[in-house]
Amino acid sequence: MIDFEMPEKIQQICTVIETVAVNMMRPVAREFDENEHEIPWDYINFMHTATRAMGGGGSTMAPGEKKTGPGIGYQRLAAMIEMLSWGDAGMYLVTPGGMLGSAAVQAAGTPEQKERFLARFNGEKPVFDAMCMTEPQAGSDTSAIRTTAVLDEKTKEWVLNGEKIFVTAGKKALIDSEGFVVIWATIDPKAGRAGMRSFVVEAGTPGCKVVKQEHKLGIRVSDTVSISLENCRVPFENILGSPEVEQKTTKGFKGAMATFDATRPLVAAQAIGLARATLELLREMLTEKGVEIRYGLPRQKMTSIERDFIDMEYMLRSAWLMVIKATWMADNGKPNALEASMSKVRAGDVVVKITQKAVEMMGPLGYSREYLLEKWFRDAKISDIYEGTGQINRLVVARQILGYRSGELR
């Protein structure tokens, strides 16, 4: 049974992180937003030291994986991410300790691969990772991926060729640290999704280059890049999953997609932290203007501001409950594809509505750069876009509920 009380261990960690958010994130949030691509090394180095002290990153269990007893790994991560994003959603994305790339290794890698690639997060220097899926012609439709991986039988190396775009933290993974990226590619273009696999490409690998850095609407402290792969050779053992293509199954593809069952609730947690920050600041600003929220009255006796504020509160709480369920299932080894996508859809929708309404309610003050409301409005939309757009996750939910395959409901 799901326990909605936050475990004491998680509460203690969140108390520490709140101090970091208040003292190291909020004071510089505007500075790094207006100086895009600058790297907050003071924050990064502090969090790397703190993460190591708390046991390191990249050690949670993937959904559906067998284990001897329940844990709190994903619930802990969700609570930490919510609090860090309350501090600043963009700076959270530059926190070292394992992101989407390491989640892919955790979900689809062998024990040896997990040890080899994830242990580096506990080293002396901060390390970053990234997932490389999107291509110019392949966004949400992963079956359209054209990046290829061909096995060189003589050297027993995979040779990767292609282009990846909109890679979150790609520069930090390949240039600013000794990290790695996880490349989605096909080992058999004729096999469709059955031929899709993911490969770990480490920083410094010849043929893997960052070729463009994006300028963005929000989360501007986090780098987003394009990566070129030109005869990029990686060891045979860097493939995540089996190298065999079975024409009647998409087991390898599903193994890679299990990454998102683990991380979509964490993206939802990011959205919730940002939405909570917005509501708290909005309440403070309203109070300063002499506006109090009167709970317990019939809706028809409330002002429109009171009704809107209370509606935003219940949206936020309902989204957080969905994250709790999805992460609890992950920690208990239960398949959670439906719940992961539901939490992502709800939180991505809620954070956009809350930040937009907050800007509207405060008028010129909400639009002004004197306050962080307009920044949070810009930061919010990415939660509805990356790791599966809201539209794609709605399709996932519908397929899960109705029992359709991807080819039957598009």
- Going by C-alpha positions, the residue among 66, 224, 246 that lies closest to residue 130 is 224
Q: How far apart are CA 46 and CA 94, in angstroms?
A: 12
Token pair listed for 381? 């939309």
Rounded-to-integer distance, Cα 281 and Cα 82, Å = 16
Reduce the DSSP state of residue 76 to 3 states and report it: helix
Catalytic one among 246, 360, 387, 408? 387
Type and span of the H or E element at 125: none
Decide: helix, strand or coil at residue 400.
helix
Selection from 208, 224, 107, 220 nearest residue 162 by Cα: 208
Torsion, CA 399, CA 401, CA 404, CA 408, rounded to 10: -50
Q: Which of 152, 182, 180 is nearest to 164 (CA)?
A: 182
**Residue 347: strand, helix, or coil:** helix
Contact indicator for 326, 265 with CB cutoff of 8 Å: yes
Planar angle of CA 209, 125, 235, nearest 5 degrees: 45
Query: Length of the chain in residues, anyone?
Result: 410
Known catalytic membership, residue 339: no
Catalytic residue ranges: 387
